[in-house]
Chain A
Amino acid sequence: MDLQIALLLGQDGITNGAIYALLSLALVLVFTVTRVIFIPQGEFVAFGALTLASFQAGKTPGTLWLLIGAGVAVALVDITLALRSGVFRRIPGIVGWNLAYPALASAIVFLLKPSEFPLLAQIVLALALVVPLGPMLYRLAFQPLAEASVLVLLIVAVAVHLALVGLGLLFFGAEGSRTPAFSDASFDLGLVNVNGQTLWVVGASLLLIVVLGVFFERTIYGKALRATAMNRTGARLMGISTVMAGKLSFLLAALIGAFSGILIAPITTIYYDTGFLIGLKGFVGAIVGGLASYPIAAAGAILVGLLEAFSSFWASAFKEVIVFTLIIPVLVWRSLTTRHVEEDE
């Protein structure tokens, strides 16, 4: 291997690593706030990418039906509860978010022609369809189990993952899609040719990480999420509701997932089940950070990306094996060096 190949592989590794880093941050966020190991994270990646691809192919994405269905289900559950407890003032909000919003989204998809939208508008519309699925999913699958053990939450997360993969096959079929690159530009940097999409991925990932950092460090809602992760009881006593924190963290995770999918779709062909593998690599990064530290998780995820790129050169058949085997020494190292943290409450 000469320097040029090494640089190319490094570029590949950092591009994928940036995506894994985003996903690892989402996994850490969801786990620390809700104790859910968010296996369906990868489905948001696939849904984001494939929804965008559907628009570009002039098709109606199946995620629209999922949004409508989930909205109706949430509305039924919440309106029943509101009627039973007599809190009628909640009903307009429930109807607005879960029925009116999906209706508005359908109107845009059917009445206007998303295939003729500029790329940016298509991306926004794809995010608008996929991201609300996060909090809806939390409401339906996880909120009723907020007090359950981590194991129970994990089992539910696996079930949700399997259900979403099945729906993905139904909505998008077995064929993969690739979307056109955001830009065709490419730059010669000495030995290596850097293509535009790489810069887009790395730049957008960095930007999103900075925005998330500002959200967590500077805004009261970001601080409330961190507080919930540190001390759930303490947070409740401040009036930070566990439900609100859960929905907000799922919203951010869905946003990060769908956005990652849209970023990576021009580089990799995305199938209905590709998300799982991408999500798992983010998960390896998150494990490096002990599911607790954001910077270590992000660094671990970039390491995963680089390892994957280089192992695909030396032993391409064993690429996944090598990446996932990394988790064993990491777990050994973590169990030897970190003190055991009791599951709280």
Chain B
Amino acid sequence: MSEARNILEVEGLCVSYGKVEALHSAGIKVGQGQIVTVIGPNGAGKTTMLSSIMGVLPHTRGVIRFQGLEVGDAEVEQRVALGINLVPESRALFGEMSVEDNLLLGAFMRHRLGHRDHEQTMDEVFQIFPRLKERRAQHAGTLSGGERQMLAVARALMAKPALLMLDEPSLGLAPLIVREIFRVISDLKRTGVSILLVEQNARAALQVADYGYVLETGEIALEGASDQLIDDPKVVESYLGLGGRR
């Protein structure tokens, strides 16, 4: 019954940039309603993995199953329609549009599929991010770094995703804001959405996650329940110890 409980199953995923293979047969699973994190150093292939699951990057081999359905050949838009959503590292906001319009477009696919409930969803999203409500008429490009990240997450939530993938949500943010972002991530779990979180900030990621994978040079080096990983000597040494950042 693993298919029923796992919302996402990735097996033997290989992705290449030209002749350089960035992911070698990587496999991960995300359980329904879980927060799963993939940690690892810069250049390990974390972003590549998320891009490939989203369909932005083609994979050369491997299987991507979402809710038991093979989606490896589907277009990005079809994956959005199925309920997969990615908040990319760049945030990819629409800078010259208001916060409200950014959020509205987050519900674009739902609108196309005939769900005209964006106003209600927006109210729910504003409850999670009250600061965005204050800034609703402001252009996204004028927001602070933390607010932009919150808008990026909020915009993804407008699609009511079943699987939310976050790429380095804490990147470049002040410690206080990082804490708030992670508080929101652990709160989101209560709404039932499954989350795949990619982070360099390993300690914070493992604290909110249920399960973790360590990705090194394109391969899964280690995996386990996050409370075990957080005590694992190898993880402590490489990612959490004094050598680790933050």
| Chain A residues within 8 Å of B, Cβ to Cβ | 85, 220, 223-224, 226-227, 230-231, 233-241
Contact B105 A85 (CB under 8 A): no
Give every chain A residue within 8 A of B76 (Cβ-Cβ).
236-237, 239, 241
Contact B108 A233 (CB under 8 A): no
Q: How far, in whole Å, are A290 and B238 apart by their CA atoms in the complex? A: 50
Evaluate whether A234 and B56 lie within 8 angstroms (CB atoms) in the complex, with A223-B104, A223-B105 already known: no
Is there a chain A Cβ closer than 8 Å to B97's Cβ?
yes
| Chain B residues within 8 Å of A, Cβ to Cβ | 54, 56, 73, 75-77, 80-81, 85-86, 88, 90-97, 101, 104-106, 108-109, 111-112, 155-156, 159
Contact B75 A241 (CB under 8 A): yes
11 further A-B pairs in the complex, CB-CB below 8 A; given A238-B109, A239-B81: A220-B105, A230-B97, A231-B95, A233-B56, A233-B90, A235-B94, A238-B80, A238-B108, A238-B159, A240-B108, A241-B75
From residue B154, how far is it (CB to closest CB) to chain A in Å?
13
**Chain A binding surface, main DSSP class:** helix
Q: How far, in whole Å, are A223 and B106 apart by their CA atoms in the complex? A: 11
| CB nearest neighbor in A for B141 | A230
Q: How far, in whole Å, are A196 and B135 apart by their CA atoms in the complex? A: 48
Contact B108 A224 (CB under 8 A): yes
9 contacts between A and B (CB under 8 A): A226-B96, A233-B90, A234-B88, A235-B105, A237-B54, A238-B105, A238-B106, A240-B105, A241-B76
Contact B159 A239 (CB under 8 A): yes
From residue A318, how far is it (CB to closest CB) to chain B in Å?
40
From residue B190, how far is it (CB to closest CB) to chain A in Å?
24
Contact B92 A241 (CB under 8 A): no
From residue B98, how far is it (CB to closest CB) to chain A in Å?
10
Give every chain B residue within 8 A of A230 (Cβ-Cβ).
94-97
Contact B88 A239 (CB under 8 A): no
